[in-house]
Structure 1
Amino acid sequence: MQLIQETPDLSAYLAADEAIDHHHPLVRGTAARLAAGVADSYEYARAAFEFVRDGIPHSQDSGDLRVTWRASDVLERRTGICYAKAHALAALLRAEDIPTALCYQNLGVLHGLVAVRFNGAWHRQDPRGNKPGVDARFSLDGERLAFTPDPASNEMDYPVLYAAPHPVVLNALRAASDRPHLWRTLPTAL
């Protein structure tokens, strides 16, 4: 799949914003702990990915009713759906100067993931969290995502790499009083 940058300026993929608040002390502290003892940025990116994938349960899988959207809140509350977990991973990676974009799939509803830039190319990663039938892995050598869209069901990968969360995603997260409400109002398209 050909990925299309929203902006050619890589600094946009290192920036902090309201959702990817990588200057927050909790994000910085978590990044520092994950960076301790790793040899390089690739090992750090893998460690951050595995921390978010495995250490922060997907709220639908765990039954947690809380809705998080800001990276620091995801890390503090240890819960989030795919979008929120993508925001947390983006913040952790950007905290260590790894360009990170947000990207989406349409699987009947929007699914959120990230893309990291290594060796002059973007590589999509899905920190959603594994469960039976889902085995996402950190990889720069071929994608190991949680889901593969089914074109026969009108599912698709959106090719655009966003520097900030898409407004339709952020609006849905902010408006949800709890996860059941969010589930009823998940965006179905960008």
Structure 2
Amino acid sequence: MQEFLASTTYIDWQHPAVLAQAQELAAAGGEQADIARRCFHFVRDQIKHSWDYRQNPVTCKASDVLDHGTGYCYAKSHLLAALLRANGIPAGLCYQRLTIGTEPPFCLHGLNAAYLPEHGWYRLDARGNKPGVDAEFCPPKEQLAFALTTPGEQDFAGIWAEPHAAVLQSLLTQPTVEAVMAHLPDGDLSNDPTPARLAHLL
């Protein structure tokens, strides 16, 4: 579990601002699931999805997402992982491959998995709700932002301790949210040896 608790370049929970926010979210106490719920709601509702709001700058590090209050789904998942890890809750990154509209092309979608003692690994999606998107924290039931509806869409079973290289390539090289949208990351991660693969996640 240690890699899912680590503070890293992009999941930088030891950054003072991220740590302070994590401590604030934990201040009301409760079980780990209660703290995870507050972290989830904070990222889902208080951090704006960059494309929904056409809001720059492009963020990637958890601390930058918190500082600017905006991020694509991938960046928001980095912040949620950081807040959870700062509170001692193992957390990683998950990906789906979805259509951008109702047909190809495809792109990756970023979300999280958190280890909750009562439920094991539980996926949660803090992308941000809007008409047609209703993600919730309701373990043991999963209620993610998107369902697979188009042939070719995929739900990858791995949990990544670090952001996938394809995601970093997009977020770190594109200068604006519009440029990221034009170069969204994509790929079939089914046989990717990078993630720590955990049985029975799905």
Using structure 1 for the length normalisation, give the TM-score. 0.92
**Structure 2: how far apart are the matches of 1:140 and 1:12?**
23
- Number of the residue aligned with 2:44: 53
Residue of 71, 81, 89 corresponding to 1:80: 71
Do the aligned partners of 1:123 and 1:139 also contact (CA within 8 Å) in 2? no
The equivalent residue for 1:109 is 107
Counterpart-to-counterpart distance in 2, 1:166 and 1:182:
15
State the alpha-carbon separation in 1 of the partners of residues 44 and 3 from structure 2. 24
Match of 1:21 in 2: 12
SS in 1 for 2:134: coil
User: How far apart in 1 are the matches of 2:151 and 2:64?
Assistant: 34
| Residue number in structure 2 paired with 1:125 | 124
Q: Count matched residues.
A: 180
Identify the residue that residue 6 of structure 1 maps to in structure 2. none
Shift of 1:129: 0.3
SS at match of 1:161: coil
* Deviation string, structure 1 residues 31-77 (Cα, Å, up to 9, x no partner): 11111112121111000000000000101111213200000000010
**Percent pairwise identity:** 46
Deviation at 1:139, TM superposition (A): 2.3
Shift of 1:159: 0.7
User: How far has the Cα of 1:118 moved from its partner?
Assistant: 1.2
1 or 2 for the larger relative contact order (CA 8 Å, sep ≥6)?
1
Q: Which has the higher strand share?
A: 2
Q: Any idea what SS the aligned residue of 1:124 has? A: strand
The CA distance in 2 between the partners of 1:62 and 1:182, in whole Å, is: 14
* TM-score using structure 2 length: 0.86
Query: Which amino acid is the alignment partner of residue 123 of structure 1?
Result: Y
Alignment deviations for residues 77-116 of structure 1 (CA, whole Å, 9 cap, x no partner): 0000100000000000000110001010000210000000
Instruction: State the SS of the aligned residue for 1:110.
Output: strand
List aligned pairs for 1:95-174, cutoff 5 A: 95-107=86-98, 108-119=106-117, 121-150=120-149, 152-174=150-172
1:109 alignment partner, SS class = strand
Retained in 2: the 8 A contact 1:65–1:180? no
Unaligned runs of 5+ in 1: 1-9
Contact 2:166 2:186 in 1 (8 A): no
CA RMSD, aligned part only?
A: 1.0
> Partners of 2:56 and 2:12 in 1: how far apart?
23
Residue 70 of structure 1 aligns with an amino acid whose one-letter code is K
The one-letter code sitting in structure 1 at the alignment partner of 2:181 is W
- Aligned amino acid, residue 92 of structure 2: A
In structure 1, how many angstroms separate the alpha carbons of the residues matched to 2:34 and 2:120?
Answer: 17
Higher helix share: 1
Contact 1:55 1:78 in 2 (8 A): yes
